[in-house]
Structure 1
Amino acid sequence: MKPFYVAAIDFGTTFTGYASMSRNVFLSETKTIEGKEWHTDRWIRHKTPTSILFDESQLFHSFGYEAEMFYSDNIGSNTINLDNWHFFQNVKSDISEKQDHLLDDQFMLYDIRKKNRMEGIIVISEIIRYLKEDFLKILNQRLPDFDNHLVHWILTVPVIWDSTTRGFIRKAAIMAGIPSHKQTIILEPDAAAFYCDTKEVVISQGTDGCMSLQQMPLGVKYLVVDLGGGTIDITVHKKEQKRNDSYQKKALGLKWGGKKVNDCFEEYCSSEFKRFTAFKRKHPDDYLHLMENFEQEKMQFNVDKMNKRGNVKVGLPASFPKVDTTKLSITSDIFRSFYDTPINGLIEKLNQLLQSDVNEMQDIKLILVVGGFAESSIVINELKKNFRNFDIVVPEKPGLAVMHGAVLFGFLRDLEDNNVNLTERTPRRNTERQANSSRHRSRSDGKKVKHFLSDIVGREIIKAMRKEQLTQLVGQFQDKISKFKNEHVERDKVIVTLPIELRDLYKNKNNKTLEDGLTTFTDDVSCRRDKLIITSSFFRKSFL
């Protein structure tokens, strides 16, 4: 069935967002892509920080700006003790660094204080779940009778992620309630190229000397340089009559993007202020404010400000080691030096690629630069200075090119063919490990799970569930059972994500939520939002 809506999730290192479009709008002349606007006290953005907060029971609390504000406002307060809460940032970088361990049952992510930890798959699935449900909530307010199963989801991933990591993201999306047949993965630079390709965009030079895109002729070869927060992806493309022939099977992923500028600022603070490390550990709320203030100055720092050679002033929290001023004054030269590592590394790699004898690199004259980091005139200025013989082109709103390209991709490409193509151009690495992930699921355990579910929600509801939804839910239980059999770590509780379909069926039949209904079942089983919580002792008694 062709999707009536396509929604794309751009899961970034520092910022994350989603965009969507209906088929009716796609078939119109405007092709307007809608995105969520995130409001703060100081600005409106099309993405929100990739920050997520869980409570002491490891249950989802909030995401994005809301999570940062709640954590910052309450850390160290007398009303709420956040010592056992879990606050995560930049988890995409952790995934990139630990790709070889993603299929391990014990893959854990540590929170920003390096004190508390959670299963990585749960953290990522809750990010996807939040974005999915936020989109569906807004959509259902506009279209109350809309069938949510008519949405197809596109998930963007960097080139640096191998097939195992993409499988990890697929599994997380399934846990978040997006069935495998309703999701498609696309490489971030592919989505960006697709965005520019479908806009049928050629290079033209304006009166101000800036290059822009109007229409890209057939046969032209070009590089896509995706400057993200955590990674920089470089891919080679060629405009063909058939869009699925545009990829040239050449990709390079680099592990430093715009976040590296923030890291260099932190290194500067550590070298200038001996108590900075202690400040970061003891005052995580003020540390968040400091980095938010730096991010704001970083967004406003451009070539004009650099050339004026004035000072950049970053607002300081009261607990910062330098207590005799409210602002940290940094010379423009030093502030510009924070960009050296990512810019120099990018230029070096581009030179290596463009000067190589590889056939794919021949005849390339166009470099298309996208991603949030591409909004920095500092970066674009350096690229233009170092690659004068190339057309350096930045589309309008480069930070949204990946997200918007992914939405168009959902309508203009055959989704099944994409999954095949993506597999073909990535190493078939760790496929055996992926296959093994379901081999431990025994049929007898599956029967026990179905009996258990029938007891708590009713046999009629289990029979009414769609086969794929029930299979995914039972699979979650089987994975938990296998963990209990094979590991010796005692846990207080077992948490399973319930699909929306089951909760809706229960509510329609019983005129109350599952959360309310389970209060009379047993003290060992409870429900909170979409989480079924079972005490470890009852879980062992029921399944082992």
Structure 2
Amino acid sequence: MVVPTAIPYQFSKIKTLSELRYRLVIAAIDLGTTYSGYAYTFKHELERERSAKDMCKVLSNNWQSGSSAGLISHKTPTSLLLTKDGEFDSFGYKAEKNYMDLVNGNKHIGWRFYRKFKMLLHKNDVLNKNTTIKDDQGNSYLALEIFAHSIRFLKTELIQALHRENVQPIFVETDIQWVITIPAIWDPKSKDFMRVAAEEAGIERDRLEFALEPEAASVYVKEMLVTRTTTDNEAEIVPFEAGTQYMVLDLGGGTIDVVVKEVREDRTLRELHHAFGNGLGGESVNKRFIEYFENAFGIKLMTEFRTNNAYRGLWLDFETEIEKQKRNFASGGIEQLKLNISSKFLELFENSCGKSLSDHCTSIEHLSSRRDKLNMHKDLIVKLFQPSIDSIIQFMRDVFDKKHLVGVSDIIMVGGFSQCKLITDKVKETFRGLNIVIPHDADLAVLKGAVIYRHWPEVIYSRRAPFSLGARFNRIWLDGDDISKQFRNTDGEKMCMDFFSKFVTIDEEFASKDKATLEVYPICADTTVMPVEIFKSDEENPRYTTDLSCKSMGNPFNVDMSDLRGGMERKVHVTLTMGSTEIRVEGQQIPNGEVKKIQLNLLKD
């Protein structure tokens, strides 16, 4: 079901958070794996009472490609070009054009060209402020700077658009409340990295929030005309009714995100299952194309084509051609994919292999070559898409196998990869009894939803913990404890070290700003600080913080216990604020100690 029109919220009923009251603009940035963009609206547009037929005025940019065709798109490629000195040159289509011009003029050596770098943040256990990214020529540069340059560009473009839109010369940058979209499956370390990059790009911490991509999409789509109902023998298409349970499938260039929500009576959303997914988005298909050609033509030849400066521009063209033709094929109706290939590649192949590419392809099933075209049969293309399709379908089956999710009736598909007909056809075939919703602007649903979410964060009534959270503490020895964990305190009592003292359990539900608190006692009467280290685990009940499933959430921090009155009976509270897109930590000695807000150092240097 392709959705043509949206119904806005009744924004006059929305309660705005006090800290947003005086912000005039809400602006969203989507730094995607393959493509990036922004959207914004003026605050009064969201607060105005609107009729059901009006569209909420969330604006996005139109980007013009650098090609001779001058194509217009809602997003621009996630490509960044820096000078030899590391200064910003350009981003998006312009960066790709400028770099190609340098390559064609043989002036590119030393320039730094980056693209599709966001996946660096996906499940990167060693991510820190000194993590580097290699540019197109294999030279390393600080990843934090790459992300900061990219965010700064999108921020600047957005501000310029705001000035063009706002005729009154009273607009200042502090009037903007920012929101950056991120995958729901990112761990806290990746979120922290993105926040630090945003701060380096000039976005202040107190003016920035994150929106989880599939969640933002669901905020946008849930008010669309998405489901059929019959009243007094008359059928109509209406938004989701209260009680509707639906799955959001966010198929991006890098990641696949799945969340399950329920619409409550007040139109807020309750999460029914914590977000999950993987890194098999649209870009994984491109990688399988490259792997296929390495097998078909030889790794040595393809490595030469990719790394030799003489072919630098041709390789970039080849990658762009794969992305372009993949998207054309994914839209459906094509029996054969035709890749344009350069005459220099044909020469390279013949010199390396001693025969023409067309002769070589005669022995390869579903592949042929004629002149400057490489022809790939539909069956071969489907095979390259299949791992991603299988992964998506398996994720969905896993959801529907859970007893508490049997009421899910609708599937919303968003993200650029959701426009792939191979995927949508398979989803419809596999889940015939469900209402499949594909918004007309599926690639912008996340951005527009992020703007609405930032204005009305209370629209998300509850979320579920993506992992179990606990702290490392020592406790009294219990029968059955691991003998290697035993030690004695200053009073000679047997103690157990490295105990996982749990705050929350994976998939536990929390309303917005709910808190989970641990009460902790010292093991010595003269203790003046309580050292605390937070850990996460994908198990429900880990026993020790040294278990394989446990990972530290940053360097330990200290909670002040300088008031020695009470001795061993003293206690501190360590509190996590849950139900938000980020975890916030506080520590306090009870009853009269100062509440200390803890900034977890997730990005260890």
TM-score normalised to the size of structure 2?
Answer: 0.65
Question: In the alignment, does 2:51 pair up with 1:25?
Answer: no
Other structure's SS at 1:250 match:
strand
Q: Distance in 2 between matches of 1:71 and 1:7?
A: 29
| 2:243 maps to which of 219, 232, 235 | 219
Question: In the alignment, does 2:59 pair up with 1:13?
Answer: no
Cα gap change, 1:414 to 1:391, in 2 (>3 Å)? closer
Cα gap change, 1:413 to 1:312, in 2 (>3 Å)? same
**Alignment deviations for residues 423-456 of structure 1 (CA, whole Å, 9 cap, x no partner):** 97998674443969xxxxxxxxxxxxxxxxxxxx
> AA paired with 1:402?
V
| 2:271 maps to which of 247, 253, 258 | 247
1:126 is matched with 149
Going by fraction, where is strand more abundant, 1 or 2?
A: 2
Please give the residue correspondences for 1:340-359 in structure 2 after superposition, counting only pairs within 5 Å.
340-357=386-403, 359=404
Cα gap change, 1:305 to 1:95, in 2 (>3 Å)? same
Range with bigger deviation, 383-392 or 426-435: 426-435
The percent identity for this pair of structures is: 28
Other structure's SS at 1:284 match:
helix
Partners of 2:246 and 2:262 within 8 A in 1:
yes
Q: Distance in 2 between matches of 1:121 and 1:36?
A: 25
**Alignment deviations for residues 298-317 of structure 1 (CA, whole Å, 9 cap, x no partner):** 222257524xx3x2211113
**Which ranges of structure 2 fall in alignment gaps of 5 or more residues?**
1-19, 230-235, 350-356, 358-369, 464-510, 517-533, 537-550, 559-600
| 1:96 maps to which of 112, 115, 122 | 122
Q: Distance in 2 between matches of 1:203 and 1:218?
A: 12
2:426 is matched with 382
| 1:371 maps to which of 415, 429, 434 | 415
* Distance apart, 1:267 and its partner CA: 1.6
Partners of 1:367 and 1:393 within 8 A in 2:
yes
| 1:294 maps to which of 304, 322, 342 | 322
Cα gap change, 1:160 to 1:134, in 2 (>3 Å)? same
Q: Distance in 2 between matches of 1:371 and 1:13?
A: 11
Q: Distance in 2 between matches of 1:432 and 1:148?
A: 33
1:326 is matched with 372
2:200 is matched with 175
Q: Distance in 2 between matches of 1:204 and 1:316?
A: 48
Question: In the alignment, does 2:256 pair up with 1:236?
Answer: no
> AA paired with 2:430?
N
Q: Distance in 1 between matches of 2:267 and 2:203?
A: 27
> AA paired with 1:305?
G
> AA paired with 1:93?
M
Going by fraction, where is helix more abundant, 1 or 2?
A: 1
Please give the residue correspondences for 1:115-154 in structure 2 after superposition, counting only pairs within 5 Å.
115-143=138-166, 144-154=169-179
Partners of 2:269 and 2:459 within 8 A in 1:
no
Question: In the alignment, does 2:304 pair up with 1:278?
Answer: yes
* Distance apart, 1:54 and its partner CA: 1.3
1:74 is matched with 102
Cα gap change, 1:136 to 1:373, in 2 (>3 Å)? same
**Alignment deviations for residues 354-387 of structure 1 (CA, whole Å, 9 cap, x no partner):** 1233x2x221121111111111112100111111
| 2:73 maps to which of 31, 36, 45 | 45
> AA paired with 1:347?
I
Q: Distance in 2 between matches of 1:423 and 1:9?
A: 27
Other structure's SS at 1:288 match:
helix
* Distance apart, 1:31 and its partner CA: 1.7
Q: Distance in 1 between matches of 2:283 and 2:194?
A: 22
Q: Distance in 2 between matches of 1:379 and 1:276?
A: 29
* Distance apart, 1:36 and its partner CA: 1.0
Please give the residue correspondences for 1:189-200 in structure 2 after superposition, counting only pairs within 5 Å.
189-197=214-222, 199-200=223-224
Cα gap change, 1:422 to 1:285, in 2 (>3 Å)? farther
* Distance apart, 1:226 and its partner CA: 0.5
1:268 is matched with 292
2:91 is matched with 63
Partners of 1:276 and 1:320 within 8 A in 2:
no
Cα gap change, 1:278 to 1:423, in 2 (>3 Å)? farther
Partners of 1:164 and 1:430 within 8 A in 2:
no
Q: Distance in 2 between matches of 1:109 and 1:252?
A: 26
Query: Aligned-pair RMSD on alpha carbons?
Result: 3.0
Q: Distance in 1 between matches of 2:240 and 2:109?
A: 55
Q: Distance in 2 between matches of 1:303 and 1:94?
A: 28
> AA paired with 1:147?
V
* Distance apart, 1:51 and its partner CA: 0.9
**Alignment deviations for residues 510-533 of structure 1 (CA, whole Å, 9 cap, x no partner):** xxxxxxxxxxxxxxxxxxxxxxxx
Question: In the alignment, does 2:555 pair up with 1:433?
Answer: yes
Partners of 1:154 and 1:183 within 8 A in 2:
yes
* Distance apart, 1:166 and its partner CA: 0.8
1:522 is matched with none
Partners of 1:224 and 1:236 within 8 A in 2:
yes
Q: Distance in 2 between matches of 1:220 and 1:375?
A: 24
TM-score normalised to the size of structure 1?
Answer: 0.72
> AA paired with 1:254?
N
Cα gap change, 1:51 to 1:225, in 2 (>3 Å)? same
Partners of 2:258 and 2:277 within 8 A in 1:
yes
Q: Distance in 2 between matches of 1:204 and 1:315?
A: 45
1:203 is matched with 227
Q: Distance in 1 between matches of 2:63 and 2:96?
A: 13
Q: Distance in 2 between matches of 1:415 and 1:353?
A: 23
Partners of 1:37 and 1:44 within 8 A in 2:
yes
> AA paired with 1:387?
F
Cα gap change, 1:430 to 1:18, in 2 (>3 Å)? farther
Cα gap change, 1:414 to 1:215, in 2 (>3 Å)? closer
Other structure's SS at 1:330 match:
strand
Q: Distance in 1 between matches of 2:444 and 2:269?
A: 24
Cα gap change, 1:160 to 1:221, in 2 (>3 Å)? same
1:408 is matched with 452
Q: Distance in 2 between matches of 1:120 and 1:83?
A: 20
Cα gap change, 1:187 to 1:423, in 2 (>3 Å)? farther
1:490 is matched with none
Partners of 1:230 and 1:258 within 8 A in 2:
yes
Partners of 1:88 and 1:112 within 8 A in 2:
yes
> AA paired with 1:392?
I
Cα gap change, 1:416 to 1:224, in 2 (>3 Å)? closer
Aligned length: 423
* Distance apart, 1:88 and its partner CA: 1.2
* Distance apart, 1:352 and its partner CA: 2.0
**Which ranges of structure 1 fall in alignment gaps of 5 or more residues?**
206-211, 437-478, 487-544
Cα gap change, 1:271 to 1:57, in 2 (>3 Å)? same
Partners of 1:226 and 1:232 within 8 A in 2:
yes
Cα gap change, 1:354 to 1:416, in 2 (>3 Å)? closer
Question: In the alignment, does 2:279 pair up with 1:157?
Answer: no
